[in-house]
Amino acid sequence: MTVDQLINWLPFGTDWPVITFLTAVIICALPVFLFIAVYALVAIYGEVKISSFMADKVGPMGQGVGFHAGKWGLLQPVADALKLILKEDIIPAAADKKLFIMAPFVVFIGAFISFAALPFGQNTIIADMNIGIFYILAVGSLSVIGIILAGWSSNNKWSLYGGMRSVAQIVSYEIPAGLSIISIIMLTGTLSMQGINEFQQGTIWGILPNWIIFNNPFSFIAFFIFFISGVAECNRTPFDIPEAESELVAGAFTEYSGMRYAFFFLSEYAEMFVVSGVSVTAFLGGWNSPISGFFNSPGWGVFWFMGKTLSLVFVMIWFRWTFPRLRVDQLMSICWKVFLPFSLLNIFGVGIWILITG
């Protein structure tokens, strides 16, 4: 269901364009918001449990009768969320109040509106823009403004450090990410998310699914560059230097508490989903089934998309609990000295590939 169809379907029609527009926006935004909230709870629970199993412990467990974390600690994320909502909201006296209050929302909005162009299934997309992938890259980097606002307005040296590092990191990693997407666009000839998905239908030589990652060796490399840059943009370990709890306490978020902190948290998880979703769409066939023609109905498309995306989210969690953290200069040198030249080469490579294979 796309927004265009919704607007056409609404009874107000073109007589009251404003009301039509607002209704359509609310109808789309509410489920997305609910989805993010539920997904974040699941992801937090998953992260806690996965990390526990990786570290040879059991994680939250409910035991016996009474008000506890539920079976297998299933209610733990709910309790966490409740705690964050009920916590006192502290604004430091020396903080720049307006910016301080604004920052978490700016960060969240960046992640939130990215969902508009994510193709969950053949028909399940809010707006199939003709510049979908470009749109996601553009609004995805909005969050950097929020983080620097948070870092600056907290009036705390640690926050400032975190904010500055974060900006440097996200802006740098946008470039290899964008360049590896360019090679996709060259291949598919479209910027639309659905267009990219449709390109990936069918099989290669009848065996492999016709996903872009298998299409040519260059896009195989491009996938890794894009995904790792995506991890860096989410500020996840091993690229979590903006938060770096052992160095910067909590980086840009040091002074935040309660609901505002929860928003940063929420947007981090939302951003993980967006990055994974874009990787899946651009490289791993999106809503296409791994076996061509097998359970490839629109309904199953949502399943495939979610399955692939959550697997990538799992990989990110896996990273976090396995790797140490990089240093800020090492992070930059990986970006500028390794990823950037390789993604430029990739573009050439893909160009030549297209020329040869026609």
Partner 1 sequence: MGVVHGDLMTLNIGPQHPSTHGVLRLKVKTDGEIISEVEPIIGYLHRCFEKHCENVSYEQVIPYTDRCDYIAAMNNNFGYAVTVEELMEIKVPERVEYIRVIVAELNRIASHLLALGAYGLDVGAFTPFLYMFRDRERILDLFETLCGARLLYNYIWVGGVSHDLPPGFIDAVYSFLDYFEPKIEEYNELLTYNKIFIERTGDVGVMPPEVAVSYGVTGPNLRGSGVKWDIRKNEPYSIYDKFDFDIPVGAGKMGTVGDCWDRYYVRMVEMKESVKITRQALKGIPTGDVHQALPKKIRPPQGSIYKRTESPRGDLAYYIVSDGSPIPYRLKMRSPAFTALSVLGEISQGWMMSDVLVILGSLDIVLGEIDR
The footprint of partner 1 (CB under 8 A) covers 51, 54-57, 157, 161, 237-238, 240-241, 244-247, 249, 320-330
Q: In the complex with partner 1, which residue's Cβ is closer, 75 or 272?
A: 272
Q: How far is the CB of 53 from partner 1 (least distance, A)?
A: 11
Calculate the alpha carbon distances from 51 to 76, 146, 275, 307, 342 in Å. Answer: 14, 28, 21, 20, 32
CB of 34 to partner 1, least distance (A): 31
| Closer CB to partner 1, 101 or 332, in the complex | 332
Pick from 147, 175, 142: nearest CA to 161 = 147
- Give the nearest distance from C-beta 339 to partner 1 in angstroms: 16
Nearer to partner 1, 57 or 207 (CB): 57
**Between residues 185 and 249, which has the closer beta carbon with respect to partner 1?**
249
Does residue 161 sit in helix, strand or coil? helix
* Closer CB to partner 1, 55 or 204, in the complex: 55
Rounded alpha-carbon distances, angstroms, from residue 289 to 69, 107, 122, 185: 37, 33, 11, 21
Buried residues in 147-172 as b, exposed as e (16+ CB within 10 A): bbbbbbbbebebbbbbbbbbbbbbeb
286, 276 in Cβ contact below 8 A?
Answer: no
Instruction: Report in angstroms how near the CB of residue 47 gets to partner 1 at its nearest.
Output: 12
Q: Considering beta carbons, is residue 94 or 352 the nearer one to partner 1?
A: 94
Tell me the closest approach of the beta carbon of residue 253 to partner 1, in angstroms.
14
CB of 248 to partner 1, least distance (A): 8
Both tokens of residue 121?
A: 């299934």
CA trace torsion 257, 259, 261, 265 (10° rounding): 150
Give the integer Cα–Cα distance in Å for 174 and 152.
22
